[in-house]
Amino acid sequence: MLSPNSAMRRVFLGIAVTGLLITAMPTPPSWAFRCSGLTVFGGVRRDRELKYCVQNGRENNWDRYWLKIPKEKVNLAISELRINYPESYRGEFNEDRIEVTVNGKKIDLDDAFWDRDNRFIQIYPTEAIPANSDIEVVLSNVRNPNFGGMFNFNALAVTRGGPPLPEYIGTWVLAIN
């Protein structure tokens, strides 16, 4: 028969071991990311707001952005993607670290460049992105601005067979703290 002291020791030991195991578990990557949420005041119309995730989201830090375009917004094949951002955003992009995935698969790019003066990123896929495709633009090695805020990044696309002018797709409302 167990004495009350040894039973209590086993209970406390069990609680202590469980607590250690829970705190020692690695944090899943999804918990480390911040993703778009609900914009309450002002901003972009709900039907034009696009989803995004940032790895860090803190001012004056290195970061990675995942900018998503749902297939419902891709009505025609896309031959060029353009992302423009406001003058108030003073971050920096690494044009060598721009990737695009279509329906979860990375695609080849002919070119991707960042025009600092005119505040946009231009992306040319090797082959046109098919209509009704989920698109994700991944910007790695981004240097966030020194001061945080809410920044509207606009997605524009030149469609195959359409006019050579980029057409508005939607807006990512990025929050940098």
pLDDT of residue 174: 94
CA atoms within 13 A on the CB side of 154: 15
pLDDT of residue 33: 56
User: Distance between terminal CA atoms of the chain?
Assistant: 59
pLDDT of residue 110: 97
CA dihedral 38, 40, 43, 49 (to 10 degrees): 20
Residues of the chain with pLDDT under 70: 1-9, 11-34, 36-42
Give the model confidence (pLDDT) of 63-113 as tens digits: 999 999 999 999 999 999 999 999 999 999 999 999 999 999 999 999 999
**95 three-class SS:** helix
pTM, two decimals, is: 0.78
**Edge-to-edge order in the sheet of strand 98-102:** 34-35, 52-54, 62-69, 135-143, 98-102, 105-106
pLDDT of residue 16: 56
pLDDT of residue 26: 43
* Cα 45 from Cα 94, distance rounded (Å): 30
pLDDT of residue 77: 96
pLDDT of residue 108: 98
- Please answer whether residues 54 and 63 qualify as being in contact, where contact means their C-beta atoms are separated by less than 8 angstroms: yes
Characterize 92-118 residue by residue with b for buried, 16 or more Cβ atoms within 10 angstroms of its Cβ, and e for exposed. ebeeeebebbbeeeeeeeeebebeeee
